[in-house]
Amino acid sequence: SNETLDDYTNVDVCVIGGGFTGVSSAINLSKKGYSVALCEARQIGWGASGRNGGQLGIGMRKDQNTIETTLGFDHARELWNLGLESVTECINLIKENNIACGLQKGLLDAGYFAKDKEDFLFKIEHMQKNYNFEGYEFINQKQIKEEINCKLYSSGLLNNFSYHLNPLKFLIGLARLLIKYKVKVYENTPVTNIVEAGDNVKIYSNKKIIKANKVVVGCNGYLDKLLGKINNNFMPINNYMIATEPLGEKTAGDIIKNNYAICDTRFIIDYYRFSEDWRMIFGGGETYSSKFLNNSKNFVLNRMYKVFPMLKGYKIEYSWGGTLAVTVNRLPDFGTLMNNKLLYAQGYSGHGLSLSTFAGKLIAEKIDGFNERFDLFSKINHLSIPGGSLVRRPIYSTAIFYYKLRDLLF
Ligand SMILES: Cc1cc2nc3c(=O)[nH]c(=O)nc-3n(C[C@H](O)[C@H](O)[C@H](O)COP(=O)(O)OP(=O)(O)OC[C@H]3O[C@@H](n4cnc5c(N)ncnc54)[C@H](O)[C@@H]3O)c2cc1C
């Protein structure tokens, strides 16, 4: 967008952040007739939305039985239904708007530990019995070795209701709708302050002001101090990815037989898939400092070679990283401030492709006076990660160190 902010702009809603949360909020609000301005500090898709692994999964980051223990069965079931709808919503958006983003069906959890078999079988039965859900399929030891050409896994759980896709192409497809629905898009426009002013809110980008009735904040891992202590509700984590040169369909099929996206069961996961042009897109490895790794390519490469030593001869053509927001309970963090004039959604904990797109729909419903579905998320309590960022990063790193060790030992 070439739009630059005037000294003073007036809209119904100002959306901050040009990822899936912000773009989807802007589309859904403008469809309902609100005038909308979207401010993005860099470019649309610059954040995690344009950099992620493209795994479009149902449910939440945690299993249903864990969520039931935390929130009770009824609330957990409502979240499960929203999680299913979030994927359907993405598929409908892709189909209705002819977004060419390499959509493929199937997500396979690859069991790294012997005990995963038991967990997978429990999950299948639990979901059949309590949720009437038949979309999971157990993959035994022989089958997993046929599905993935790798010695590390001993069982699997195939999810036929989840997909994978090229996330940047999906986001660009959605961003085209911003033009269709006449959203004013201001890129390179960092919001520096948000101030409640009577019945309105004033949003500052340096000296320029947007006056709005409502403001939506979708900055996720890049939120920083914009909402004061709200960024204590999650830990910003950097995760890294690489892409090989195109391997061709035959070689790709020898590595992942049915072109599923794969995710392993370790705490620090490996996740990977083939792109539309048959590049291996491999993600894995996290850092918790405020600085990005300089040498992230080798960091991820070492993980990939452990899984697929046969990829050693191929060139790595791209490497990148992004920041995501992880909450303690791994459930998204929705909320309001300034007497409901400010709404935010964040903390998708690595499961945000579908949920952040869907968050935009729930935010628009809430602004339109239909609170119920937004509130199913906003009523979830989140533990604040203690201390300022200087303190909490080391605390979190130490906690993670324990889990990393567990990945290695068991
Ligand atoms: C490497 C990686 C791999 C991932 N893989 C997957 C996956 O396979 N599946 C999955 O479901 N999820 C995955 N995720 C998570 C997923 O990408 C995110 O949950 C989702 O994209 C969040 O979208 P968002 O719009 O909320 O945030 P983002 O896409 O991060 O967008 C936030 C935007 O806000 C902007 N911003 C910040 N501050 C300001 C300000 N003050 N003013 C204006 N703009 C501002 C930023 O520039 C940024 O563009 C992954 C994340 C990463 C980093």
The total number of structural domains in the chain stands at 2
Q: Which atom of ligand 1 is nearest the CA belonging to 320?
A: 1
Query: Does residue 239 sit in the same domain as residue 318?
Result: yes
Euclidean distance between CA atoms 177 and 182, whole angstroms: 8
Residue 233 has pLDDT above 80, yes or no: yes
Euclidean distance between CA atoms 275 and 289, whole angstroms: 30
pLDDT in tens, 106-144: 999 999 999 999 999 999 999 999 999 999 999 999 999
Q: What is the mean pLDDT of residues 144-165?
A: 97
| Residue 230 beta carbon below 6 angstroms from any ligand 1 atom | no
Domain of residue 257 covers: 104-163+235-326
Query: Does residue 128 sit in the same domain as residue 243?
Result: yes
In a domain, 45, yes or no: yes
Q: Which atom of ligand 1 is nearest the CA belonging to 17?
A: 34
Euclidean distance between CA atoms 251 and 149, whole angstroms: 11
Give the burial class of 404: count Cβ atoms within 10 A of its Cβ; 0-12 exposed, 13-18 middle, 19 or more buried: middle
Residue 358 has pLDDT above 70, yes or no: yes
Q: How far is the CA of 333 from the centre of ligand 1 (A)?
A: 14
Query: Does residue 27 sit in the same domain as residue 114?
Result: no
Q: Which atom of ligand 1 is nearest the CA belonging to 55?
A: 8
Q: Whose CA is nearest to atom 41 of ligand 1?
A: 191
> Residue 286 — very low, low, confident or very high, per pLDDT cuts 50/70/90?
confident
In the listed set 326, 355, 389, which residue is the last one of a domain according to the structure? Answer: 326
In a domain, 67, yes or no: yes
Query: Does residue 273 sit in the same domain as residue 129?
Result: yes
The contacts of residue 392 (CB under 8 Å, 6+ apart) are 232, 235, 385, 386
Query: Does residue 189 sit in the same domain as residue 245?
Result: no
In a domain, 258, yes or no: yes
Q: How far is the CA of 225 from the centre of ligand 1 (A)?
A: 16
pLDDT in tens, 306-350: 999 999 999 999 999 999 999 999 999 999 999 999 999 999 999
- Beta strands 280-287; 270-274: pairing state: antiparallel
CA angle 316, 321, 323 (to 5 degrees): 165
Query: Does residue 250 sit in the same domain as residue 307?
Result: yes
Residue 241 has pLDDT above 70, yes or no: yes
> Residue 404 — very low, low, confident or very high, per pLDDT cuts 50/70/90?
low
Residue 399 has pLDDT above 70, yes or no: no
Query: Does residue 221 sit in the same domain as residue 267?
Result: no
In a domain, 395, yes or no: no
Q: Which atom of ligand 1 is nearest the CA belonging to 353?
A: 11
Matching residue, tokens 């890294």: 240
Query: Does residue 138 sit in the same domain as residue 223?
Result: no
CA angle 410, 302, 145 (to 5 degrees): 60
Euclidean distance between CA atoms 251 and 241, whole angstroms: 20
Question: Which CATH number covers residue 40?
Answer: 3.50.50.60
Query: Does residue 75 sit in the same domain as residue 38?
Result: yes
Query: Does residue 12 sit in the same domain as residue 142?
Result: no
Q: What is the mean pLDDT of residues 35-43?
A: 98
The contacts of residue 350 (CB under 8 Å, 6+ apart) are 61, 239, 324, 326
Question: Helices (DSSP H) in 265-342: which residue ranges?
Answer: 296-307
In a domain, 91, yes or no: yes
| Residue 281 beta carbon below 6 angstroms from any ligand 1 atom | no
Query: Does residue 142 sit in the same domain as residue 256?
Result: yes
Q: What is the mean pLDDT of residues 163-189?
A: 97
Query: Does residue 7 sit in the same domain as residue 94?
Result: yes
| Residue 363 beta carbon below 6 angstroms from any ligand 1 atom | no
> Residue 294 — very low, low, confident or very high, per pLDDT cuts 50/70/90?
confident
Q: Tokens for 200?
A: 């309105």
pLDDT confidence of residue 372: 98
CA angle 318, 319, 321 (to 5 degrees): 145
Residue 405 has pLDDT above 60, yes or no: no
The ipTM value here is 0.99
Say how many Å lie between the first and final Cα of the chain, rounded.
50
